[in-house]
Amino acid sequence: MDSDDSLKSFFAVHPKLDCLHVHLLDPASPSSAEASTLRDAARSAPCEVLECASTSENWVCLRCFHVACSRYVNGHMAVHVQSVHNGMCVAVSMADLSVYCYECDEYIQTLNKTVLNALNILHKTKFDGAPHVFASSALETQEKKSSNSILKDSTIESFAEYVKENNCRKIVVLTGAGLSTSAGIPDFRSPGTGLYYNLEKYRLPSPDQPITSSNRMNPKPFFVLAKELYPGNFCPTLSHYFIKMLAKKNMLLRNFTQNIDTLERIAKIDDELLVEAHGSFSSASCVGGLQQIVADDGEVSVVHHSPCGAKFSQEWVKIRVFADEIPKCPACEHGIVKPDITFFGEAMPARFRERVFDLEEADAVIVMGSSLKVFPFASLPALAPKKVPRLLINREIVGDFDQTDLKGKGPAVDHTESTGEPPVRDAIYLGTCDDGCLLLAELLGFKQELEQLYANERASFLANKQREPDDEDLLKSFSSLNV
């Protein structure tokens, strides 16, 4: 039997089950005084209209708890309809405890807590303490669910309230390319602006060409892309400094990032708090290479040169990339020097594998700016304990967040024990990372501090950038090198 059938089974005449007006009732009702009025009504309190004083066929208005007989109740409820748009015009009959909505103009049945509490009080008073079967059962179920609640609803406000009330100190933040787009770095998938969309601009043979480990015969496409994304050209965003603020307030356990732009490092997020899941430009290594050899008879063979293990600085590689040169290893002469970025098909960095279990210790999880399509990173949100709330700040719903109730009308409840279904513990903010982080900072009480930090650090970054050598200077530096 579904929920609609279970509701209807209590009535000879099937009531309306989707009345919207009951949600306008005061959720704090009935108060102790209003409960006393209900008890008096159940004991045959007289009609309060004029001098009627009738004690039969009376109704109780659940907006103001006025008692009126069937002769005058319509007029009383009409006043509410006229004075309040979509008026809270619901009343209970003392004769049979049926509920009527004068806006719907129908008998109704509902799981609204105010109505259920009123029915239970009336029934107990009329029938020597016996609870209303349906109302008491529904209230008991709601109470059980409430005790298992993680968030009150699926809003960012509820997530912030949870973080404050539970003094969260082990927040894990998972970030993707959307975190850096406001810095001017394009993501991969956005129509019109993403790197994949603008593939023709980069003259790359295929979308995965710059991030595959199998094409060392022609590595130029990767370095064309690398020049566009190279660190030092971009200032961290407000969202990066939001993560910095979490760290400053000892609320951050770890920041896992898919990004290779090193903006977290520029924002001075401590290395110990950072896991660059796909590597970064901060260092580089000889990865070996492929060499074509043409024999005297014209036969072409390919020789594979293994990595020699030599390490290089970010600046060493940058000089060559900006000179439109493919960095060659001076130690072995044949290897290509590549930033320590994880390509598709390559093993994740050791630090990622070592720290992935941080999700099991998290007391809250924030996912920002990721499509959650690249594994194993995309699996990280699911590793958090089922009782840990998760917040998605993104332009669209991704991953398993698509199961979240965005209406926010009911509690986000763990149903596991009663229904076997997985818990619903997610909040969602649809918008830019910067807007979501600014709102969350406000809700957590450090918006002004974040804005000041961002303004100061941005001004410092721009001032330092003016003093840095430009591309022409880098080219001159390269031309003076003998390697």
Residue 278 is a catalytic residue = yes
Q: Residue 320, SS3?
A: helix
Q: In terms of Cα–Cα distance, which of 296, 264, 301, 294 is closest to 279? A: 264
The tokens of 314 are what? 């970010």
- The answer to whether the beta carbons of residues 179 and 250 sit under 8 Å apart is no
* Helix or strand (DSSP H, E) at 90: strand 90-93
Per DSSP, what are the bridge partners of residue 394? 430
AA letter at 138: A
CA distance 54 to 69: 6
CA pair distance 11, 109, nearest whole angstrom: 9
- For residue 30, say if its preceding peptide bond is cis, omega within 30 degrees of 0: yes
- List the one residue out of 71, 70, 124, 75 whose CA is nearest residue 92: 70
List 123, 132, 240, 278, catalytic entry: 278
Dihedrals phi, psi of 248, to nearest 5 degrees: -60, -35
Residue 345 neighbours by CB distance under 10 Å:
10
Active-site residue set: 278
